[in-house]
Every structure is written in C-alpha cells, then in structure tokens.
A = this chain, B = another copy of it.
Amino acid sequence: MPVELPVVIDRTSPVPLYHQLAEQLTRMVEDGTLKPGDHFENELALAERLQLSRPTVRRAISELVSRGLLIRRRGIGTTVANQVVHRRDELTSLYEDLVRSGRTPSTEVLELRTDAVDERAAGALGLAPDTPLVYLERLRSAENGPLAILRNWLPPEYGDLTSERLAGGGLYAILRARGRHPVVAHQTIGARGATARERRHLGLAKGDPVLTMTRRAYDAAGVAVEFGDHCYRADQYAFDITVHER
C-alpha cells in the first residue's frame, strides 16, 4: 500500500512547485521516511491530493528518478530505489550517515595495533615518518550485510583505545569525546579491484570493484586528527558532491 506523503506546498514561494515537491521527496528518501522498496503514491493521486498539475508532479518524480532515488517500472509503478548509501559532501562519519538514514550500523574490529609505522599516514598526521601510530581496521555492516572496510591511523595518544569501545559506535564520536573535533577533511575518491582479503570480508566475487576514499581530517586549529584509507562495496555506496565554478 503506497504511503500518503506529508508534502507541504507553499504557493506564495518563488521556488517552482515541482522543485518544492522534488526537494521534500528527496529529504524523505534521505531521512528514511521513504524506505527502499516502498511503493510510491502514484502521480495522479499525488497531483489530486496536493492540487498540483500532473506535469508538475511528473517533473518532480523524474528528477528523483534521474538522481537514482526512485525507480519507475512499467506495470509495477514507482518505488524507492535507494539501496545505495549516498554519502553527501559534508564531513560525517559513515556510522552517523547510516543512523541518520534509518539504518542499523554494526562494527567488527578486524585489527587494532599501537605500533604501526606508515610514512604516508604519519605525513598526513604531521608526525615524523617513523612515529608508531595507532592503526585500526574495522568492518562496517548494515542490515543488508557488509558495506565497507575502514582503515584509520591515529596519533600515539589513542593507544588506550579498545576493540569494545570501537565496536560500540563510530570513530568520530570517540574523537569528539576526547576533544579532537574534526571540522574539515580532504578526501580522494577512486576505485580499484578488491583484494582477496577485502572480497572475503565484504562478500564480493572475483573481479568486483571497491570504491575507495582516503581522508585527512583536521580540527578547527588545522591540526590533523586522523588519516583514513577506506574501501566500500561499489554496489552499495556512492558519493554525492556539489561543485561550483571557481
């Protein structure tokens, strides 16, 4: 049974009606009001209920279809498509993104060491290349199964971190609790074939790709807080970014 959506249209606003509708529908998909597989109130019913023209409603829906949030299938109607976690271009942790979109993240700690020497990570943290760093590798899953392998390097001061603490939530909450509040990050996004180990943990087949992201995060004083090198199941994950002309 399609959900009757709580849309509010403001006819006094200069924002085009189709855009008001598209924005509210997008938010409902993103915040989990509309869940993957949900049937979508049909165009005609939505138009009548909101007293909008059919072309206006169709244009709003087409916009969500074009963004990959809805799927329109002949004979089945329109359903919410979004199995993919859309990571927005603000500094959030995957854990928080999942919670916010109504999903249930879980964490398995695959590795936790305090003697990791890694020049690339040390450079990113602004430390001498041979500084022993805290290294953690976590498998992040949601209800549909494994989603990402998260590898992070932290300064030696985090030597007391435990697997129990890491399994109980997201890393960023731990950093913030210690007064190291990440406010800006430089991310590099790429892709590569999954390694055998990654395939095993992520449940992938040979030849399946992973989406990769390295992240250098800084606090308000510009001090490096963490260095991460993560990989995500490409069939379940995407990055959304908005870019402007310089």
Contacts and interface: CB of A to CB of B under 8 A. Distances in A.
Contacts of A243: 89-91, 184-185, 187
B189 A189 contact: yes
Contacts of A182: 245
B123 A65 contact: yes
A120 B206 contact: no
A190 B237 contact: yes
Interface in A70-100: 72, 84, 86, 89-92
B245 A119 contact: no
Taking each of A123, A210, A235, A243, which has the highest tally of chain B beta carbons within 10 Å of its own beta carbon?
Answer: A243
Q: How many copies does the complex hold?
A: 2
A58 interface: yes
Nearest to A194: B209
A96 to B, nearest CB: 11
A227 B68 CA distance: 13
**In the complex, which range does the number of interface residues on chain A fall in?**
35 or more
A245 B126 contact: no
A184 B238 contact: no
Q: Is the interface of A mostly helix, strand, loop or mixed?
A: mixed
Nearest to A246: B90
A185 B62 contact: no
A185 B241 CA distance: 8
A120 B119 CA distance: 45
A209 B234 contact: yes
Interface in A192-226: 192-193, 206-211, 214, 216
Given A190-B237, A190-B239, A210-B191, A184 B59 contact: no
29 contacts: A58-B129, A59-B126, A61-B123, A62-B129, A66-B119, A66-B122, A66-B123, A66-B124, A67-B124, A68-B188, A68-B214, A89-B89, A89-B241, A90-B243, A181-B245, A185-B243, A186-B241, A186-B242, A187-B240, A187-B241, A189-B240, A189-B241, A190-B211, A190-B239, A191-B211, A191-B234, A193-B209, A209-B234, A239-B241
